[in-house]
């Protein structure tokens, strides 16, 4: 059983977050992070430093852990609570004593009124099913997850999946950008929870744009990794990033007409794309895939190189490809389509630079979503 953390927060409450009740009773927000991989652990640490600092939040941050037994025979949760460190997914970093690891999903969410979802996207449908009827009615949620579900009726963003299954409004956080739908005040509360003096967070009114930036850049990072593995140099990689950004924007706008161009110039857009294409696990594994001339599968390389961490770009490329072929858009998005075809072995890694002659019919450069 996860231990309880004693709350001793005594700072004064900013007026915008007071309960508004006549008796001045404070309604502190209680945060639970659903997920404890690499980013889940970083997010918990970040949030925990802020809940200690800000009186509008309970100090304790509960972190749901998908339980694993470590090579030592100990449970991961026990080790996190004993050492205050996620020794498997974020070794060497103290999470903060107010982070409490909890392997029981229902228990972890039951008292929370702010939920942060941060698991690999393929597990979210199952997690949502387990949470139906188990979360508070007044809960606010945010998704840090990159990826989408493709269903027969069309693509479903993870924030929409959570909203629909749990009946709650979900904002989106990706790379220092909070995407919100209409409630600016709630968005500001999330900004406050994630901001630190060295990590500036902004809010934009474009949930789908922020979510699609975070999701699609992983596909472009796979392409960048191929270029690195083939040692094609920086000019080629920059060209791939430019075409990738163009396809990201066009695809997002075709799916959701509400998506704003300006979102692609926020941290979640071009900045995150550059970071992911220069470093990051998707680029790294794709580089190894190309170096091995596609003879070792992504599953194989993921297991060997990431040791439990999950690769998002390959599954996202497949999901995007399904959407493209279902809607007859394959020709419009040669980079996205080629990445998937290389991943599944239909094309060699060198094909990443061989489609330039297949000119897309969509006026992607101008940002138009009209067909010619």
Ligand X SMILES: NC(=O)c1ccc[n+]([C@@H]2O[C@H](COP(=O)([O-])OP(=O)(O)OC[C@H]3O[C@@H](n4cnc5c(N)ncnc54)[C@H](O)[C@@H]3O)[C@@H](O)[C@H]2O)c1
User: What amino acid positions are annotated as catalytic residues?
Assistant: 217
Q: Are 86 and 112 in contact (CB under 8 A)?
A: no
How is residue 249 written in tokens? 């924007």
CB closer to ligand X out of 118 and 162: 118
Nearest to 208 by CA among 167, 263, 165: 263
CB closer to ligand X out of 144 and 245: 144
Q: Are 287 and 302 in contact (CB under 8 A)?
A: no
CB closer to ligand X out of 82 and 346: 82
- When CB distances to ligand X are compared, the closest residue is 37
- Identify the three-state secondary structure at position 270: helix
How is residue 52 written in tokens? 């200690």
Find the shortest distance in angstroms from Cβ 93 to ligand X. Answer: 13
Find the shortest distance in angstroms from Cβ 134 to ligand X. Answer: 16
Q: CA 92 → CA 84, 88, 140, distances in Å?
A: 10, 10, 31
Find the shortest distance in angstroms from Cβ 31 to ligand X. Answer: 16
| Spatial distance between the Cα atoms of 124 and 142, rounded to a whole number of angstroms | 13
Find the shortest distance in angstroms from Cβ 82 to ligand X. Answer: 18
Q: CA 372 → CA 99, 189, 234, 249, 364, distances in Å?
A: 54, 44, 32, 18, 11
Q: Output b/e per residue, 211-235; b: 16+ Cβ within 10 A.
A: bbbbbbbbbbbbbbbbbbbbebeee
> Which helix (H) or strand (E) covers residue 348, if one does?
none
Residues β-bridged to residue 145 = none
What residues contact 19, with CB distance under 8 A and at least 6 apart? 25, 26, 27
CB closer to ligand X out of 147 and 334: 147
Find the shortest distance in angstroms from Cβ 309 to ligand X. Answer: 4
Find the shortest distance in angstroms from Cβ 130 to ligand X. Answer: 10
| Spatial distance between the Cα atoms of 89 and 70, rounded to a whole number of angstroms | 12
C-alpha 59 chain-centroid distance: 24
Interacting residues with ligand X (CB under 6 A): 35-40, 66, 68, 89, 118-121, 123, 144-147, 309-310, 312
CB closer to ligand X out of 26 and 70: 70
């Amino acid at each position: 059983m996860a231990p309880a953390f004693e709350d001793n927060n005594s700072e004064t409450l900013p007026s915008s977050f007071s309960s508004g009740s006549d008796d001045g009773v404070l309604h502190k927000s209680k945060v639970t992070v659903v997920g404890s991989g690499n980013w889940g652990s970083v997010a918990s640490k970040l949030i925990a430093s802020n809940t200690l600092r800000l009186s509008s939040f309970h100090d304790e941050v509960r972190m749901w852990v998908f339980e694993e037994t470590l090579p030592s025979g100990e449970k991961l949760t026990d080790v996190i609570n004993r050492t205050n460190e996620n020794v498997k997914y974020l070794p060497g970093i103290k999470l903060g004593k107010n982070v409490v690891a909890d392997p029981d999903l229902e228990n972890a969410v039951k008292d929370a009124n702010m939920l942060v979802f941060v698991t690999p996207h393929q597990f979210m449908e199952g997690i949502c099913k387990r949470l139906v009827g188990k979360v508070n009615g007044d809960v606010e949620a945010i998704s840090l997850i990159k990826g989408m579900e493709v269903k027969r009726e069309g693509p479903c963003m993870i924030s929409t999946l959570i909203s629909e299954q749990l009946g709650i409004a979900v904002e989106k956080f990706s790379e220092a950008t909070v995407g919100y739908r209409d409630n600016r005040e709630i968005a500001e509360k999330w900004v406050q929870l994630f901001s630190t003096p060295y990590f500036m967070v902004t809010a934009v009114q474009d949930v789908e744009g922020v979510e699609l930036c975070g999701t699609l850049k992983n596909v472009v990072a796979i392409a960048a990794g191929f270029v690195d593995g083939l040692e094609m140099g920086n000019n080629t990689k920059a060209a791939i990033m430019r075409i990738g950004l163009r396809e990201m924007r066009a695809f997002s706008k075709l799916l959701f007409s509400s998506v704003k161009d300006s979102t692609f110039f926020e941290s979640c857009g071009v900045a995150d794309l550059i970071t992911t294409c220069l470093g990051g696990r998707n680029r790294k594994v794709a580089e190894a895939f190309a170096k091995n001339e596609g003879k070792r599968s992504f599953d194989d390389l993921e297991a060997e190189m990431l040791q439990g961490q999950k690769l998002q770009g390959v599954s996202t490329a497949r999901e995007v490809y399904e959407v493209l072929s279902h809607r007859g858009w394959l020709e419009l998005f040669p980079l996205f389509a080629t990445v998937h075809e290389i991943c599944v072995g239909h094309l060699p890694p060198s094909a990443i630079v061989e489609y330039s002659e297949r000119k897309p019919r969509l006026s992607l450069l101008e940002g138009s979503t009209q067909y010619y």
